[in-house]
Chain A
Amino acid sequence: MNKRNSLHSELPVIIITTSNQNKRVGGSHFSVILPMPEIKVTPLGAGQDVGRSCILVTIGGKNIMLDCGMHMGYNDERRFPDFEYCTEGNLTEYLDCVIISHFHLDHCGALPYMTEMVGYSGPIYMTQPTKALCPVLLEDMRKVAVEKKGEANFFTASMIRDCMKKVITVALHETCQVDKDLEIKAYYAGHVLGAAMFHIKVGSQSLVYTGDYNMTPDRHLGAAWIDKCRPDLLISESTYATTIRDSKRCRERDFLKKVHDCVDRGGKVLIPVFALGRVQELCILLDTYWDRMNLKVPIYFTLGLAETANKYYRMFITWTNQKIRRTFVHRNMFDFKHIKPFDKAYMDNPGPMVVFATPGMLHAGLSLLIFKKWAPNSNNMVIMPGYCVQGTVGHKILNGAKKVEFENRQSVEVNLAVEYMSFSAHADAKGIMQLIRHCEPKNVMLVHGENAKMEFLKQKIMQEFNINCYKPGNGETALIPVASDLMVEVSLSLLKQTISSTSSSTGVTPQAPTTPALPSLAPTNSEELDSKKRMVLHGVLIMKNNKVRIVSVNEAWGELGVTPHQLRFTERVEIEEVGPIPALTSMLHSLLSQKLGASQVQAVNEYQLSVADTVCINIQDIDHTKTVFISWTHQDEALGSKVLNIIKSNYKKS
């Protein structure tokens, strides 16, 4: 038996055994198909942690991997997620799909390892810019790892290409049918170019995975947006779980002032960045500032990657913000005036300069090289514009390290000014709450953040929204119970009959309920309707070939192919009443009319009455005793026994 079956790959079945009181001839137990009552989530990375995002979810029997990132803080096997965890066997068999939220390596860095080295050939979904930019970053990282650090057993350039061939692109808001039951839909996340949040739906169950997102628009990207999709679970990043960031404008002014002051006193400014992402934002910021202040100090950007990156940004204008899209025909924001390509030789140039260098956490490459050179001089400055994971040089100096040691017993004195300015486009606590308010999830799960901060936000979410909030650690499994409706087909004539009988019997104005699909049927209107009268539907539920349908009783006979067995009851009531039969008939008529409503009772002839066309009343004189025969079928048991009781209690022979 393969692993798949044991993990409920089929829609699970709840077995209901019929109780004894209602013993049936046809069979003894039956099954109702209900969706699996829980969503299972296991972070393989990013559980109470930042870095190596990789989350396994099981929803409605489908197994999905959300992101497949690597950890920048490790150089050993810990940098990749532990794929053994989810299956001893075959990943392709186990997983229904892999979804990559954006091109940052902590979200896609392990993908070629997984597909080409561990072995996975199933579908991988990402947006078009992510598909274009992912291989650029992977290749860059690979070069650093293999050529600079001399690592063996790393994936190769051709593996990256083969891996990308397996990728299927999704457009924003497109409903992508992974298979018959599983559909995914991407929303704009605003974190970096092409970043997306994913809505995943199986039957009536759904979850949203945010990836990394940003709720405030910036100079080149728009804000994250999602509709009120009310998922059963929202898996949100929480990098800035406890931060409420000051206004963006202040932060930008602060940044520009620090850079300006440093170059004014002749210092060099190093800004370690990732080639793609925030750097484009900072470039636009500095480029326009230099223009406005008429500054002549050179700004450099690492050659190669930068050009490639900007070229992509120009082609993916549709993924940037409104302003850039509006003006791109005349001026493309990604053609910079003041920013020049960097050459290694410039490192030793005298005089002030600003250098954007990769990678962003000072863990390798050119940025680290420049850092080693410039760190001892207190005139210089390094600005860390984003989050640094534990273990990186960036993380160390941000925590105030005055001396940094390297593998080959080298060490560097850190005398330069270290500034941290959060320019990474993550939602802050306010933004996370805003997203929750907006999409109205039934449960929230926090990932991609630090445990202590998550705990704080978790409490806040549970308090404010009165919903459950989870934060499993890596390798821990969270089971989120969900109660989802069983989706059935219902006969339209039964629906119409139900709605119209309710409205007619209560005298509700017929406008609203008779036309159920009327678009003008405002919620207030239907609420009003609810308060006036509950609608009771009576029909027959039929399960056939795992499909469930509700039809009216009459329709059911035909569909089931059985003949009804008519059960008729006739009750005899003897009455002590003198006088002619027609007089008794009319007395009964007025009695029943009074109790049941005049419209219900009809006189058929002098000795016969009919109630609601279903209960027959026949009055006869048998051996000088007046006898009333009340007759009805099993279907009309309720009314029949009611009529019987009325007559009995009024006329019963003492």
Chain B
Amino acid sequence: MEQRFKILRYILYGIELLVLFVLQGTPNLVPELYGGRPNLLLPAVLTIAMFEPKLPALFFGAAGGLLTDIGGGEVIGFFAIIATVLCYFTSYLTSDIIRTSLLTAMLITLIAVPVTLGLHFLFFYVFKGYGEIVYFFVNHYLSRILYTIAAMPIIYFINRNLAIRIASIE
């Protein structure tokens, strides 16, 4: 019985990731703020990791990262690697060291999102030699980072409800 609910939860997480993938890529749906739009998959996999054990967390991190890579049309695996590592350690932190709450979720996101998008900026902007590094970071990546962090609480509550409600049925 417990196994069945676990599978149900994983299926729902999978659907959530697919829906967020579609939503974040739909033109003119999420309004642009100061040249940036939020990456919805990143907070989604991070919050999933907060409510799941290490193994499922890392697989959802890989799945969310791969979807982000596919949507971006850049190198497949870049976001996947980062998200896998982040989700693994997020799950480790929230299961063994700190309690999962909105505050801790925000703290983790405040570190994870700038790291991920900062690395993206480094590899896909700075190393490509486009120039105007500071201008572009401030006008594109900063708003993208803040927007992604701002989307976190909504996704956190969705996943928290999902995890708690299914756990209560169990």
> Is A bound to B?
no
